[in-house]
Amino acid sequence: MVRRVIWIIAIILIAGYFINNYLEDRSREEAKKAESRKIEVAIKASVADLIRRTNAIDNWEEELSKGEKFRMAPILTIELEKLWISDRPILFIGSIKDITTEDKENYIIEIERSLFNFKYIFETELILELKCSKHKVDAFLNAHPEILKESGLTNGVAIVAEIKKIETKAIPHKEDGTREIKIGKGNCLEILYTGSVLF
């Protein structure tokens, strides 16, 4: 009888231990999700504020998509010229692909389109090559050192750019020999870290 009571108490204690651990893990997970949501809301609000402050064009992808989620047809340079080259800058969500020195005062920062932009998918690859002051880029990298350590999954940026011209580059491709990349060249006006936030 005593042994049975001891077994029951032991089972209750063990069950209580596992239940308590489960509830603590769940609580930590919910706190982590809440913190992630809070960060996402703050970043999206910062991007919205950036668009307002700079009067940036942020619907150019929608225009290029022609109402479709996937656009497999090539993007013509003239289409981008109409959307990107104007008296207003554009908002470009992407990740830093490379940074090179242009001169004593400036870098050329290369931005590729975000892996997280699932709203519109284009067959033609779009890249920006922008002149940006060393002071601005260095301050940005000092504030976000993780951006150079992470893969393209967590190093997102929102960049406001003034595009001056568009170039086309053909690169080797397995299936059909070559693939076209459209490159917008101009000046970087503002840059904001977005991490892994989806847009």
pLDDT, residue 141, reads 93
Confidence at residue 69, expressed as pLDDT on a 0 to 100 scale: 87
Coil, strand or helix: which one is 154? Answer: coil
- pLDDT at 61 (0 to 100): 93
What's the pLDDT at 157?
93
Q: What is the pLDDT of residue 5?
A: 63
Say what the pLDDT of residue 25 is.
65
Judge residue 96's burial from the number of C-beta atoms within 10 Å of its C-beta, 0-12 exposed, 13-18 middle, 19 or more buried. Answer: buried
Enumerate the domain spans of the chain: 1-53, 55-195
DSSP string, 27-93: HHHHHHHHHHHHHHHHHHHHHHHHHHHHT-B--HHHHHHTT-SEE-SPPPHHHHHHHHSSSS-EEEE
Q: Does the model's pTM come out above 0.85?
A: no
Tell me what pLDDT residue 182 has: 95
| pLDDT at 60 (0 to 100) | 95
**Phi, psi of 103, rounded to the nearest 5 degrees:** -160, -165
| pLDDT score at 175 | 67
Strand partners, 172: 178
CATH number for the domain whose boundaries are 55-195: 2.40.50
- For the chain, how many residues are written? 199
Low-confidence ranges of the chain (pLDDT < 50): none
pLDDT at site 112: 92
Tokens of 68: 């479709």
Cα–Cα distance, 57 to 51 (Å, whole number):
8
